A and B are shown apart, each in its own frame.
Chain A
Amino acid sequence: MATSPWRDKPFARLVAHFAAVIVNAGQDSGESDLNLGIGGLLAILAVPGAFVSITLFDKYSSLLRYFRNGRAFDHYIASIPDKYFFVVFSMVVTGVVVTLKWDRIFPSLQDYANLAPLPIPARNIYVANLAAIALLACIFAIDVNAVSALLFPMVVIAEGGTLIGYVAFVGAHAATVILASAFTFFACFAIIGALLSCLPHAAFRKVSLFVRLAIMIALMAMLCSIFSVPPQLAKLAANPHSYVRWLPPVWYLALYQSFQGKAFGELAQLASLALKALALVFGLAAFFGALGYRQYFRRIPESSDRRQTPSRTRLQLGSALLDRILLKDPFQRACYHFGLRALFRSETHCILIGAFAGLGLITAAQSIMSVPAAKPGAISTIPHADLLAAPLCVVYFLVAGLRLTFELPAGLTSNWIFRLTVDRAIRDGSAVARKLILSFLVPGVILPSLVAYSVLWGPQVGLLEGAVVTAMSLLLIETLLIRFRKIPFACAMPSFQNNAISVIVVYVIGFFVFTSMTSHIEHWMLLQPIRFLGAIPFAGLSWYALRAVNYEEGDPDAALVYDSRIEDAVQKLNLLGS
């Protein structure tokens, strides 16, 4: 009797099924998800590593160094900050993917309904799910690091290196980033398993969102550490109690250096910590995963989303006030409340906003920490430019984050009710979007910064700072909402794979323009506050121009859109069919 191929075996089929479910989660229901398609996602994730490796030619080129009269240096030591970046990037990507796909790490009610009646032991289902997750984690880890593993060593030791040295460098790089990814993966898995094991199902569901948010913020902080940590590494010997000793990316950087025989002093000690930590999280993940899974699978059929919403009286009062003051149009009222509910009740949207807010807070903190220490006895009557930049950092990331999340549908198949009831020609989705953004900015950034700066530097500085933050926020909102013709969260996500890199570059440049330039100009104006009068017409004209672009009369493209289909370059006329 001929044996069936391995892929037709039940276990392998189960692994393939779970892998497909994890990748395609949300597509069939139209629920919100960052469904870029596995191919698109892998392509996007491979780019940063390759891009950064190529840009490093400038740093390691002996020819360019000769022209700049630079000194020769040990490439293995000089590449420490760059190695740190690749380690962090690998860990952050793995962490983000696991956090976003958190719900799929354990089987769902749908899996239970389909698989429980079959003669498959629960243990096999668990192991197959775990194998699928591990397989996908490996694919992502390889995808993110494959190009950089080949390019980065080539860039670093291109001049003066040997083939054996190159191969060894590639091996060290690949081993380190994969181990770092594995650490992140198993750490997240251990957290999920621990929560599932220790908490009742209803409590797990409540807590899981906050835990995911916390992990996202931690990952964003880790990403931002690529600027602040490398300079601290040189001072480790002098400062043995430095906080950088406790950062996992530093352990794996130490491991990287030890693979290359370049780990000295403190780094040599930290290298062993990397492997011990990996073994620990793996053990915890296995233990809690096995424990949590059994309980979770049994509780699936009893699980229910039946929970009451918060006190309606309080919400109704606030809502009535909001409707009276801010939302006089029924369309705006309906879409605004819909938007807020989508934002706070959709885990994906919550996590994305949390991540962006986290980035904003972290960059604001870095901005504040970069203020030079004041000279003894010196009294400053106006804040340093870096201090003025702090609220602008939060504004930028919050507005950009909200703008991005508006594009993610919260139940695409359910938007028929908007298509049916809303007059596309006269309804303005951007007005709703604007009010949603301001609902976060005013209480979250503008008012607190006004109060804080007033307390610290007096009411004049506080009011001027509040005015600048408000004006810049409004300009940023108008800029990002140009040609926004959708109802937030109700329309198909646009295809951005073709221009993702350029969008990211524009946003990065925009960040520096928005925060750094604005804060320095503001600082200059605060030296003589009369200068602010000159800025008013400029700001007013800019805002007016942006509004004019957005609300061009007779614009045929002004109607609401529900799809974001890109027109084909070549269209079939279908003359025979019509």
Chain B
Amino acid sequence: MVVLEARQLTKRYAGLPAVSSVSFSIGEGDILGYLGPNGSGKSTTVKMLTGLLEPSTGHVLYRGRDINVDLPAYKRKLGYAPEEANLYSFLTGWEYLELVGTLREIDAKRLKAKADSMLNDFAMFPHRHSPISSYSKGMRQRIMLIAALMHDPDALILDEPFSGLDVSMALVFRQVIKLLAHSGKAIFFCSPVLEVVDKLCTHLVLLRQGAVVACGAIEDIRSKGMAPALEEAFLQLTERVDSDGLAANIVAAVQAPC
């Protein structure tokens, strides 16, 4: 069953399209990877999917229903972790989770049990009473991921979720995503790391200059690109970069006299 669907999503700023006619769907158990170079419109799409940004045209549907019909109900079922871990730095990690959990109307006792358990599993329990201003990037990312998962959402939207995580925690979280998908969640995530998308996703959307250039199951993408590796397919479909030439130019600029 389709959980989350984007239909012809378009967003214009001063007449210029940042995202143009993007359509895709995520079913139960699907992990959709949203891929594209910097500035291709990934974060704009994410904000429209979460209801934080109103599209110029197009719709976002949750289980067949436009999210704007009952946006609060949709947000209750949604877990979202943005790209930047913008958390209130004067709060401690625990206080932040308590804030989010209370706003999501999780029972206080269950909230404490859940938060303590997840803090422990994410290796954040000893730091839970330290202010977020003292956290490293990875620690903030972990708090944000806990906050996104705490209320057992139906749909997860993750914008570069592995950013800042160390290798072991990234492996753990990769497994978490797989298990959540296996239990029927619909997962959407943006990542610039091709290896992660390749290993994790069941479906893929490739974005270029705000428009979808390819979408579908991972294997179909590879075959369309007529290349065995996803990286080559990605480069063929999105950017043609003369990496050797660019590198030579950069070195020449560095070595130019001061």
Chain A residues with CB under 8 Å of chain B are 30-31, 304-309, 312, 323, 330-331, 333-334, 337-338, 341-342, 345-346, 410-411, 413-414, 416-423, 425, 574, 576-578
Q: Does B249 contact A (CB under 8 A)?
A: no
Q: How far is the CA of A345 from the CA of B14 in the complex (A)?
A: 40
Q: Does B63 contact A (CB under 8 A)?
A: no
Closest to B107 in A: A330
- Tell whether, in the assembled complex, residue B82 and residue A416 are in contact, meaning their CB atoms are under 8 Å apart: yes
Using an 8 Å CB-CB cutoff, how does the interface string of B2-24 with A read, 1 for contact, 0 for none? 00000000001011000000000
A333 partner residues in chain B, CB cutoff 8 A: 102
- Tell whether, in the assembled complex, residue B88 and residue A411 are in contact, meaning their CB atoms are under 8 Å apart: yes
Report if A421-B100 is in contact (Cβ < 8 Å); known contacts: A341-B90, A410-B90, A416-B52. yes
Q: How far is the CA of A578 from the CA of B55 in the complex (A)?
A: 12
Please report the total number of B residues contacting A with Cβ < 8 Å. 36
- Tell whether, in the assembled complex, residue B86 and residue A414 are in contact, meaning their CB atoms are under 8 Å apart: yes
Report if A414-B134 is in contact (Cβ < 8 Å); known contacts: A308-B129, A337-B99. no
21 CB contacts below 8 A, A to B, read: A31-B89, A305-B134, A306-B131, A308-B129, A312-B129, A334-B98, A334-B102, A337-B95, A345-B131, A411-B86, A413-B86, A414-B87, A416-B82, A416-B86, A417-B100, A420-B51, A420-B75, A574-B14, A574-B15, A578-B12, A578-B56
- Tell whether, in the assembled complex, residue B134 and residue A417 are in contact, meaning their CB atoms are under 8 Å apart: no
Closest to B47 in A: A416
Closest to B102 in A: A334
Q: Does B104 contact A (CB under 8 A)?
A: yes
Using an 8 Å CB-CB cutoff, how does the interface string of B129-149 with A read, 1 for contact, 0 for none? 111011000000000000100
- Tell whether, in the assembled complex, residue B130 and residue A421 are in contact, meaning their CB atoms are under 8 Å apart: no
A306 partner residues in chain B, CB cutoff 8 A: 130-131, 134
B12 partner residues in chain A, CB cutoff 8 A: 577-578
A305 partner residues in chain B, CB cutoff 8 A: 130-131, 133-134
A576 partner residues in chain B, CB cutoff 8 A: 15
- Tell whether, in the assembled complex, residue A342 and residue B90 are in contact, meaning their CB atoms are under 8 Å apart: yes
Instruction: List 18 additional A-B contacts (Cβ < 8 Å) besides A337-B95, A577-B15.
Output: A30-B86, A305-B130, A305-B131, A312-B129, A331-B103, A337-B98, A341-B91, A345-B91, A410-B88, A411-B86, A413-B86, A416-B82, A417-B87, A417-B99, A418-B103, A423-B71, A577-B14, A578-B12
Q: How far is the CA of A419 from the CA of B86 in the complex (A)?
A: 13
- Complex A-B, nearest 5 residue pairs according to Cβ-Cβ distance, in ascending order: A577-B15, A423-B72, A334-B102, A345-B90, A305-B134
The smallest C-beta distance from A427 to any residue of chain B, in angstroms, reads 9
- Tell whether, in the assembled complex, residue B15 and residue A334 are in contact, meaning their CB atoms are under 8 Å apart: no
Report if A414-B88 is in contact (Cβ < 8 Å); known contacts: A306-B130, A307-B131, A577-B12. yes
Contact of A417 among B71, B103, B105 (CB under 8 A): B103
- Tell whether, in the assembled complex, residue B129 and residue A411 are in contact, meaning their CB atoms are under 8 Å apart: no
Q: Does B40 contact A (CB under 8 A)?
A: no
Q: Does B92 contact A (CB under 8 A)?
A: yes
- Tell whether, in the assembled complex, residue B92 and residue A309 are in contact, meaning their CB atoms are under 8 Å apart: yes
The smallest C-beta distance from B43 to any residue of chain A, in angstroms, reads 12
- Tell whether, in the assembled complex, residue A421 and residue B88 are in contact, meaning their CB atoms are under 8 Å apart: no
- Tell whether, in the assembled complex, residue B134 and residue A304 are in contact, meaning their CB atoms are under 8 Å apart: yes
B12, B98, B102 — most chain A CB neighbours (10 Å): B102
- Tell whether, in the assembled complex, residue A421 and residue B15 are in contact, meaning their CB atoms are under 8 Å apart: no
Q: Does B50 contact A (CB under 8 A)?
A: yes
Task: Mark out the residues of chain B between 43 and 74 whose CB falls within 8 Å of any chain A CB in the assembled complex.
Answer: 50-52, 56, 71-72
Q: How far is the CA of A305 from the CA of B78 in the complex (A)?
A: 33
The smallest C-beta distance from A432 to any residue of chain B, in angstroms, reads 12
Q: Does B34 contact A (CB under 8 A)?
A: no
Q: How far is the CA of A417 from the CA of B80 in the complex (A)?
A: 9
- Tell whether, in the assembled complex, residue A330 and residue B103 are in contact, meaning their CB atoms are under 8 Å apart: yes
The smallest C-beta distance from A229 to any residue of chain B, in angstroms, reads 39
Q: How far is the CA of A323 from the CA of B75 in the complex (A)?
A: 25
Report if A411-B90 is in contact (Cβ < 8 Å); known contacts: A307-B131, A312-B129, A423-B72. yes
Closest to B92 in A: A309
Report if A346-B72 is in contact (Cβ < 8 Å); known contacts: A308-B129, A331-B103, A421-B100. no
Q: How far is the CA of A578 from the CA of B130 in the complex (A)?
A: 49
Closest to B50 in A: A420
Q: How far is the CA of A422 from the CA of B52 in the complex (A)?
A: 12
Closest to B144 in A: A417
Q: How far is the CA of A418 from the CA of B51 in the complex (A)?
A: 12
Closest to B133 in A: A305
Closest to A336 in B: B102
Q: How far is the CA of A416 from the CA of B92 in the complex (A)?
A: 18
- Tell whether, in the assembled complex, residue B86 and residue A338 are in contact, meaning their CB atoms are under 8 Å apart: no
The smallest C-beta distance from A435 to any residue of chain B, in angstroms, reads 15
Report if A330-B105 is in contact (Cβ < 8 Å); known contacts: A307-B131, A414-B86. yes
Contact of A411 among B72, B89, B102, B103 (CB under 8 A): B89
Q: How far is the CA of A346 from the CA of B98 in the complex (A)?
A: 19
Q: How far is the CA of A323 from the CA of B89 in the complex (A)?
A: 24
B71 partner residues in chain A, CB cutoff 8 A: 423
Closest to B75 in A: A420
Using an 8 Å CB-CB cutoff, how does the interface string of B93-136 with A read, 1 for contact, 0 for none? 00100111011110010000000000000000000011101100
A342 partner residues in chain B, CB cutoff 8 A: 88, 90
Q: How far is the CA of A31 from the CA of B51 in the complex (A)?
A: 24
A304 partner residues in chain B, CB cutoff 8 A: 134
Closest to B57 in A: A578
- Tell whether, in the assembled complex, residue A346 and residue B103 are in contact, meaning their CB atoms are under 8 Å apart: no
Q: How far is the CA of A567 from the CA of B101 in the complex (A)?
A: 35
Q: How far is the CA of A424 from the CA of B72 in the complex (A)?
A: 8
Q: How far is the CA of A508 from the CA of B206 in the complex (A)?
A: 60
The smallest C-beta distance from B84 to any residue of chain A, in angstroms, reads 8
B12, B90, B92 — most chain A CB neighbours (10 Å): B90
B88 partner residues in chain A, CB cutoff 8 A: 338, 342, 410-411, 414
Report if A338-B99 is in contact (Cβ < 8 Å); known contacts: A307-B130, A413-B86, A416-B82. yes
Q: How far is the CA of A338 from the CA of B103 in the complex (A)?
A: 11
- Tell whether, in the assembled complex, residue B91 and residue A421 are in contact, meaning their CB atoms are under 8 Å apart: no
A414 partner residues in chain B, CB cutoff 8 A: 86-89
The smallest C-beta distance from A293 to any residue of chain B, in angstroms, reads 23
Report if A334-B103 is in contact (Cβ < 8 Å); known contacts: A346-B90, A416-B86, A574-B15. yes
B75 partner residues in chain A, CB cutoff 8 A: 420-421
Q: How far is the CA of A33 from the CA of B52 in the complex (A)?
A: 25
Q: How far is the CA of A94 from the CA of B98 in the complex (A)?
A: 41
Closest to A417 in B: B100
Closest to A346 in B: B90
